[in-house]
Amino acid sequence: MFARTLALILALGLAGPAVAFAAPDGPSRIFEPRDLFSLEAASDPQISPDGSRIAYVRRSGDIMTDRNRSTIWLIDTRSGEQVPIVAGPGSHSQPRWSPDGRRLAYISTAEAGQAQLFVRWMDGGESVRITNLPDAPDSLAWSPDGRQIAYAMFVPGEELSLGRPAAKPEGASWAPPLEIHSAVTYRSDEEGYLKPGFSHIFLVSSDGGAPRQLSFGSVHDNGPLSWTADGRSILFSSNRGADWERDPQESEVYRLDVASGQLTALTDRRGPDTDPIVSADGQIAWLGFDDKNLGYQNVMLYVMDRAGNRRILTQSLDRSVEAPRWSADGRSIFVSYDDHGVKKVARVGLDGSIRTIAEGLAGAALDRPYTGGSFSVSRDGSVAAMIGSSSRPPDIGLARAGTTRMLTRLNADLLDSKALAPVRKIEVASFDKRPIDAWLTLPPGWREGQRVPLILEIHGGPFAAYGPYFSTDDQLYAAAGFAVLSTNPRGSTSYGEEFANLIHHAYPGRDYDDLMAAVDAAVSQGYADPNRLFVTGGSGGGVLTAWIVGKTDRFKAAATQKPVIDWTSFALTADGPAFFSRYWFGKYPWEDQPAFWARSPLSLVGNVKTPTLVVVGSEDYRTPVSEAEQYYAALQLRRIPTALVKVPGVGHGTIASRPSQAGAKAEAIIAWFRKYENGMPGGATAAAQ
């Protein structure tokens, strides 16, 4: 696919960036698609209990297999020295320290390609496979004495049987049997069509042996898992209600008695209760909210004392919190949260006080500048975290004694030699004077006062946020001479519940005006050429791209990626049919069809004049392929210049996971924009194309 896209670019005479930094006989100094194979990212940092070492997952590209490969490395927090500890064939992930710090559990496909649970003895350096499981284990949790490891795993169930098929003669070659689905959610992005069965909790000796299943039933029991200090119980979350399939937000925290298997519900309110974690003295912290059927609701931190009294600790924060971790003394809880496009780690006291410990956490999905990143905490309160910037993917940082020290520089060899696109924040005021955060990624070599073509690149979600983070798409666009505008319009997270819910039952809506205000600001502040404007975005950004070209023709060309085009068809074919209608519309399509149609970009297709590329993964089950295809068909019927780009073998979340496809997709969009940069080829009108 990369070769075909490159051939298209050359045929159009579009090869080469607007600002060149490559010597005729030397390596290129600009960021280019081939560099995607050389990028690395650090993730899942796990600091040892005594704070002396950090195990983390290091993701590296492999140009021969066109995939990213995960290995596990170990960092000495004092010297900064790092060594690989699990780096052989296969994929390796989820490192988790034993309570005494002498062993490390992890998941690996090293043997026969099937994910299994391994334990490494850190003193001797020996790794032993301790399971032989039919499916991949997840949510590893050591018992307090280190003798057992709990995990969650999918348990196959029985398919619905209808009728009695005829007996096949010996040696006959017949068609495959019928597929029969009876679940509400019968397919899922990244997984495809789901096999019948449920996730349950298991226990295995940390020395190996036969696993024991602890939970049962026709429901999913989910991690993360947390042991009580006495080793007698495990806490987890689950929706065990009779109508759990049609109630996607509901769940409770349960205590599972390890010896008897008895379950006790510890929460009982309307709304999700998840991520329970137990302190050494028996207090329980967890996340959740009272469900009001809003499109967005802040996830709050709760605590329950040993007497069962419950209270909220983060009600004053007005941000959603994630990943609770108890301090060793049980007096505070570490959490992460997004604030104005930046992820932070904070220490929340039992009195409700909140103190920032680290910030600048960054995620390992590098194609677009989303907020993200994880962390862990040692007994002395040191925090190991994924830290990144607009010029670097995430590395491992250590926050200790009030300062943050970077321990890795994984991409120094590659990126130190590149003239990367600089990123700067710009001031934007929307139609109602509300400030809107926006960042410009400028072409390498850009000079003050220089006007350049601008790409408005819109985030998905819509309840998500961009920030000042490294983005391969933005770097590739900028290397081709475009400025890239990233904004957080109303509906974005990290600005509080009221800001996010400005699009409640009104999306797309005035978020369109926020985006236009950001474009206007880039023009008025002297960055963007007003006659060379382009627009693209994926998922929710694809929705808004298609909405924008139905509302205005100020953009020379557009590329809508994995969009929703008709809310009715999406609500009934996406992989969350119980969620979208209920929370984003309040009614089902047959109850209020005018509302679904009024917010569908397809309703505006009759207004479109902008040449619009349509891009989707061929196995997308979140915004299904049929959404992109029906928009492409509508544009064709209207004689609007268009093309359909399908990325083979990938879903919604993995559309940029293989380096060659990520590079080819970005290059195809650049080629499309270049084609229409000066208007229709030969002065042709849209109707004549």
Taking only the tens place, the pLDDT of each residue in 519-571 is: 999 999 999 999 999 999 999 999 999 999 999 999 999 999 999 999 999 99
- At residue 26, the pLDDT reads 66
Residue 486 or 686, more confident: 486
- pLDDT tens column, 109-126: 999 889 999 999 999 889
Catalogue the long-range contacts made by 132-135 (C-beta closer than 8 Å, 24 or more residues apart): 133/211
Position 323 confidence tier, pLDDT thresholds 50, 70, 90: very high
Q: How far is CA 264 from CA 158, 225, 227, in A?
A: 27, 15, 14
pLDDT at 22: 44
Residue 680, pLDDT > 90, answer: no
> Confidence band (pLDDT; 50, 70, 90) for 1?
very low
How far apart CA 265 and CA 268 sit, in angstroms, is 7
Report the share of the chain in percent with pLDDT over 70.
95
Q: Which residue has the tokens 């004495």?
A: 145
Q: Which amino acid is at 168?
A: K
| C-alpha distance from residue 3 to each of 7, 10, 66, 307, 649 (Å) | 6, 11, 14, 65, 17
Which structure tokens are listed for 231? Answer: 């080793």
pLDDT at 25: 57
Q: Where does the pLDDT of residue 681 fall: very low under 50, low under 70, confident under 90, or very high at 90 and above?
A: low
User: Rounded to whole angstroms, how far apart are CA atoms 533 and 515?
Assistant: 13
Question: In this predicted structure, what is the pLDDT of residue 27?
Answer: 76
**CA dist., res. 240 & res. 381, Å (int):** 36
Instruction: Give the closest residue to 155 by CA, choosing from 136, 180, 183.
Output: 136
Tell me the CA distances in angstroms from 465 to 78, 210, 364, 498, 681, one per residue in order.
34, 44, 15, 15, 36
Question: What value does the mean pLDDT of the chain take?
Answer: 93
Note the pLDDT tens digit of each residue in 422-438: 999 999 999 999 999 99
The string of DSSP letters for 259-273 reads: TT--EEE---SSS-E
- What pLDDT score does 679 carry? 76
| Cα separations in angstroms, 389 against 343, 371, 399, 516 | 11, 11, 16, 26
pLDDT reported for residue 205: 97
437 and 487 Cβ atoms separated by less than 8 Å: yes
Residue 9 reports pLDDT greater than 60: no
CATH class of 2-13+416-565+600-688: alpha beta
SS3 string, 172-229, reads: CCCCCCCCCCCCCCCEECCCEECCCEEEEEEEEECCCCCCEECCCCCCCEEEEEEECC
489 burial level (CB within 10 Å; 0-12, 13-18, 19+): buried
Tens digits of residue pLDDT in 151-195: 999 999 998 999 998 999 999 999 999 999 999 999 999 899 999
User: In this predicted model, what pLDDT tens digit does every residue of 457-505 receive, in sequence order?
Assistant: 999 999 999 999 999 999 999 999 999 999 999 999 999 999 999 999 9
Phi, psi of 188 (to 5 degrees): -145, 140
Q: Give the pair of three-digit tokens for residue 97.
A: 């320290």
CB count within 10 Å of CB 85 equals: 19
For the chain, the residue count is 689
CA distances from 552 to 344, 379, 506, 578, 598 (A): 38, 56, 19, 34, 17
Q: d(Cα 3, Cα 645) in Å, to the nearest integer?
A: 14
Taking phi over 0 as left and psi of -120 to 50 as alpha, with beta for the rest, 600 belongs to: beta
Q: Are 123 and 85 in contact (CB under 8 A)?
A: no
Domain ranges for the chain? 2-13+416-565+600-688
Residue 204 scores a pLDDT above 60: yes
Contact assessment for residue 558 and residue 613, using Cβ atoms and an 8 Å cutoff: yes
CA angle 424, 426, 432 (to 5 degrees): 155
Per-residue pLDDT band for 508 (boundaries 50, 70, 90) equals very high
Cα–Cα distance, 628 to 632 (Å, whole number): 6
Contact 641, 555 (CB under 8 A): no
The mean pLDDT of 641-645, rounded to a whole number, is 98
Q: Work out the number of other CB atoms within 10 angstroms of the CB of residue 636.
A: 14
Residues 6+ apart with CB under 8 A from 27: 417
**Predicted local distance difference test score (pLDDT) of residue 522:** 98
**Residue 48 burial (10 A CB sphere; 0-12, 13-18, 19+):** buried
- Is residue 275 predicted with pLDDT exceeding 70? yes
- Contact status, residue 117 vs residue 150, Cβ threshold 8 Å: no
pLDDT at 261 over 50: yes
Torsion sign over Cα 193, 198, 201, 206: negative
